[in-house]
Amino acid sequence: MIRRAFGLLVAVAFIGALLGAPLHVRAQSNALVAVLSEMQGLSQSDFNSLVSWAKNGAQAPFSTFFQPYKTQADILALGDKDQQAVIWWLTGNGRSALYARGASDYQIGPRRSPVDKPAATPTPSAWREIPLASATLEGGVQGQIQIIGGFSAVKRDATAAIACVSFKNLAPMTARRVIFEFPLLDSQGNSLGSLTLDRNGEFSSGVTIATYDSFAAWQQGGIGPRGYADNCIQKTLPTAAVPLLQARTASYRVMRVEYDNGTVWTPAG
């Protein structure tokens, strides 16, 4: 008698553990999977009728020979929790109850109107990136200033432009001032105007002075350990400008370098 009672307690404890198990380990029933598959095969018209049926009390259908009545009967034949989860979804409350019964999005099927909210549409960026590239085949070294990387972009409404650059001083002495120019070019390579970055600081030999890793990083508002924004020039206008509408690429050139020993470099010599 004691052994039988102990066995009964163990069984009850086991069932309780299953019922109290985390949702993600509960397996879906074969009957639920079959009903979900059946629902995926319904036309939109039949699915809409099924939704209306669920919202109006989910009564037993008078016939099972035609759709969606057969699916209604199959839903009512499910176990209580599976049935409740399906009706919860059909009445517009989301898929959480089906997930709790072990069903996956693959088994439930693609998002359907009117029970699933449409997927959120990403908000388009207010900016469009344009390539930043050297105007010559010599690459990124100008006046012992090496261009490491950068990006440029213009606002879609043509009211602003930005250019950012990472660079390194290759000269043996410290640079105190570097002036960069960023010509904006149209699709034919014609200059539309330019941005000028006047960068002041202490730029030691061989040390990279970095900006944001990418246009995307700048958009996310990241802040670098050395003030990445210091290597950017942004021009904002009160109204739209045709040159910004036409800008397709940007170039860069070093216009002046001032060193701590008084030496000055310019493209002319």
- The tens digit of pLDDT for each residue in 153-180 reads 999 999 999 999 999 999 999 999 999 9
- The tens digit of pLDDT for each residue in 119-154 reads 667 778 899 999 998 877 666 688 899 999 999 999
In this prediction, residue 250 carries a pLDDT of 96
* Range 127-265: architecture per CATH: Sandwich (2.60)
- The tens digit of pLDDT for each residue in 25-57 reads 456 799 999 999 999 999 999 999 999 999 999
CA–CA dist 226, 143 (Å, integer): 23
DSSP H helices, the chain, are 2-19, 30-40, 44-55, 69-76, 80-90, 96-100, 105-108, 215-219, 242-246
In this prediction, residue 62 carries a pLDDT of 84
| pTM of the predicted structure, to 2 decimals | 0.58
How sure is the predictor about 225, in pLDDT bands with cuts at 50, 70 and 90?
A: low
- The tens digit of pLDDT for each residue in 75-131 reads 999 999 999 999 999 999 999 999 999 999 999 999 999 999 876 677 788 999 999
* CB atoms near residue 116 (< 10 Å): 15
In this prediction, residue 79 carries a pLDDT of 92
Domain with CATH 2.60.40 in the chain: 127-265
